Amino acid sequence: MTSQHCILIGAPVDSGKRRAGCLMGPDAYRTAGLAPALESLGHTVEDLGNLDPEPHAPDGYDGYDGNDGLVFARNETIGWTARLAQAAEDALESGLPVFLGGDHSLSLGSVAGAANYAAKAGRPLFVLWLDAHTDFHTPETSDSGNLHGTPVGYFTGRNGFEGFPEVSNPVPQENVCMIGLRSVDTQERLALEGSSIRTHDMRHIDENGIAGPLNRFLEHVAQANGMLHVSLDVDFLDPSVAPAVGTTVPGGATVREAHLVCEILHDSGLMTSLDLVELNPFLDERGRTAHLMVDLCASALGRRVFDRPTRSYQ
């Protein structure tokens, strides 16, 4: 196994949706032993601590239904996007960044920054989106106004993100693969049907398995000499095994399916950056979701079946 320099970047983003708690996510991953797990696999680990968003003054945006809270959340998310884009671009110079979220709006910045770095390196960026949701909205199409539902729309270059940092290197739609979908509203579905994004919902997984579509996507990444950003949302998993998320959708991936995805990612050697998002420790049961996410990260970085720890939550 090739040793990696893993750079942990805490992103306590809690501005992308209404239900608070994701700001505690980065420290929950640390408490669950993420750094020791990666070091036990022979990797070096550098923890940059928790970042802060760049200050962003109110810009006169009226918000959704005149809601001042959403105006604040939008401006804070803009600040996070700028800070995380630069952090991703900087970290990729020396290692594999692991973004510890934080809600999924952090991916507006992490993916945009990875795309900027890939462009400088003369390589295309690909994105594997492991999520119950497509997050393909824009601030204009979202009924809720929650910005954690917009990152894919942002980094693929959709319109409607006035005031956000310019997306200098949008990720081509055909370079995005979504696996695990099971909650897609009408506007997103119609937008996706007119796109070239690869989508695999849980019915497709039930009927065909999870390895096939993933391997086909990874073959495309390898053939293009691409860099691969993986964004893993807690709600990719079934809430029976990962309850610590504010957007539970029954029927998600099993523990074995999720580990298989991560094992295949490691075998491919293609992953260059990773998000761990939407962990809300306030909703967890004795840390079980945080531990599972740490185990999945370890699988993506080389932990094999026989190396897994046995856990008891009694």
Q: Is 220 a catalytic residue?
A: no
pLDDT classification of 122: cutoffs 50, 70, 90: very high
The torsion defined by the Cα of 258, 245, 13 and 107, in degrees rounded to 10, comes to 40
Out of 233, 238, 275, 295, the active site residue is 233
Residue 35: phi, psi to the nearest 5?
-60, -50
User: For residue 150, what are its two tokens?
Assistant: 């917009």
**Residue appearing with tokens 């761990």:** 276
Out of 148, 200, 229, 259, the active site residue is 148
pLDDT of residue 271: 98
pLDDT at 140 over 90: no
- Per-residue pLDDT tens digits for 153-185: 999 999 999 999 999 999 999 999 999 999 888
Mean pLDDT highest for which of 71-80, 120-129, 305-314?
A: 120-129
Determine the distance from the C-alpha atom of residue 2 to the mean position of all C-alpha atoms in its chain, rounded to a whole number.
23
Out of 14, 76, 103, 104, the active site residue is 104
- Average pLDDT of span 60-84: 71
Q: Is 233 a catalytic residue?
A: yes
> For the chain, what is the mean pLDDT?
91
pLDDT of residue 64: 43
pLDDT of residue 18: 64
pLDDT of residue 143: 63
pLDDT at 60 over 60: no
pLDDT classification of 105: cutoffs 50, 70, 90: very high
- Mean pLDDT check: name the lowest of 34-43, 54-63, 87-96, 295-304: 54-63
Q: Is 5 a catalytic residue?
A: no
pLDDT of residue 21: 86
Q: Is 90 a catalytic residue?
A: no
pLDDT at 119 over 90: yes
Q: Is 235 a catalytic residue?
A: yes
pLDDT classification of 314: cutoffs 50, 70, 90: very low
Other Cβ atoms less than 10 A from the Cβ of 15: the count is 27
Close Cβ partners of 146 (under 8 Å, ≥ 6 residues apart): 16, 17, 18
pLDDT classification of 149: cutoffs 50, 70, 90: confident
- Per-residue pLDDT tens digits for 238-283: 999 999 998 889 999 999 999 999 999 999 999 999 999 999 999 9
Which domains occur in the chain, in start order? 5-306 (3.40.800.10)
Close Cβ partners of 109 (under 8 Å, ≥ 6 residues apart): 80, 81, 82, 83, 84, 85, 87, 88
pLDDT at 90 over 80: yes
Q: Is 104 a catalytic residue?
A: yes
- Quick one: what percent of the chain has pLDDT higher than 70? 89
- Average pLDDT of span 112-123: 98
Out of 131, 188, 263, 275, the active site residue is 131
